Chains A and B, each alone.
Chain A
């Protein structure tokens, strides 16, 4: 049976504590569509990495801002869209600088985005009307129940 498209829209503030709202929403979305636990973790990590970058770097001037997240599942494809009106920034290209002590051996900079690229099939970015839009997609095997 083909499933109808299913969409969840979420709006959070640029407060790191609000990441939990996204994890919980993804969890509910995952159980609704019977996603394998491993896949669910990958999607949660991808969403977490992108949004935590936005929270940390999009608004250097501070203040309270909105981050909009839309999760869509349609025809075996999961799409996660993340939008913010912070400074223009393509997360695929420039890993934000890491503020770490000098002389460190392995550098964590860019690890999160590297993981996002590995977990997802596509990772697109566009700047539209003053908003950054990151769009992640992944094909999902629909498990027969």
Chain B
């Protein structure tokens, strides 16, 4: 069995960073994602976009990570946004009542076009 069903790729876009996720976010890998996001903020990232384009599935464990990341961004005086939250995954955000809890952009490009 694969150790993790979630892949994470960091893509630099000038001063900003996109963390592109692929796969499933659940309790088995939520801690890995939290650690990665915390490391990025600790390294001084001022704008982090988490891209959901290739995310197939998530549970409330993902929401916990994102809410903690929102706080972490605030503490680090950084900005934090999500992009490409579509289809099934968007419905899960809706069902969790969390669609309004985050800044969500239609695409990674649109997210990166939002300057300070």
Contact residues in A for B96 (Cβ distance below 8 Å): 111, 114-115
Within 8 A of A (CB), among B56-113: 57-61, 63-64, 67-68, 70-71, 88, 91-92, 95-98, 101
Q: Which bucket holds chain B's interface residue count?
A: 20 to 34
Within 8 A of B (CB), among A7-55: 16-17, 19-21, 23-24, 37-38, 41, 44-45, 48-49, 52, 55
A52 touches B27 (CB 8 A): yes
Q: Which bucket holds chain A's interface residue count?
A: 20 to 34
Contact residues in B for A118 (Cβ distance below 8 Å): 95
Q: Mark interface residues in B33-68 (1 if CB within 8 Å of A CB, else 0).
A: 000000000000000000000000111110110011
Cβ-neighbour of B64 out of A20, A41, A45, A98 (below 8 A): A98
A16 touches B28 (CB 8 A): yes
Contact residues in B for A112 (Cβ distance below 8 Å): 59-61
Cβ-neighbour of B71 out of A17, A21, A56, A104 (below 8 A): A104
Q: Given known contacts A101-B71, A114-B97, is B26 in contact with A52 (CB within 8 Å)? A: yes
Task: Select from chain B the residue with minimum beta-carbon distance to A101.
Answer: B71
Q: Given known contacts A16-B27, A19-B28, is B60 in contact with A115 (CB within 8 Å)? A: yes
A48 touches B59 (CB 8 A): yes
Contact residues in B for A16 (Cβ distance below 8 Å): 27-28
Cβ-neighbour of B67 out of A17, A52, A56, A106 (below 8 A): A106
B95 touches A119 (CB 8 A): yes
Contact residues in B for A107 (Cβ distance below 8 Å): 67
Q: Taking the complex as formed, is B13 at the interface, i.e. its CB lies under 8 A from any CB of chain A?
A: no
Contact residues in B for A105 (Cβ distance below 8 Å): 67, 70, 101
Contact residues in A for B58 (Cβ distance below 8 Å): 45
Cβ-neighbour of A20 out of B28, B61, B67, B91 (below 8 A): B28
A-to-B contact residues, CB < 8 Å: 16-17, 19-21, 23-24, 37-38, 41, 44-45, 48-49, 52, 55-56, 98, 100-101, 103-108, 111-112, 114-115, 118-119
Other CB < 8 Å A-B pairs besides A21-B1, A55-B27, A108-B63, 15 of them?
A20-B28, A23-B24, A41-B88, A41-B92, A48-B26, A48-B27, A52-B59, A98-B64, A100-B64, A106-B98, A106-B101, A107-B67, A111-B63, A111-B97, A119-B95
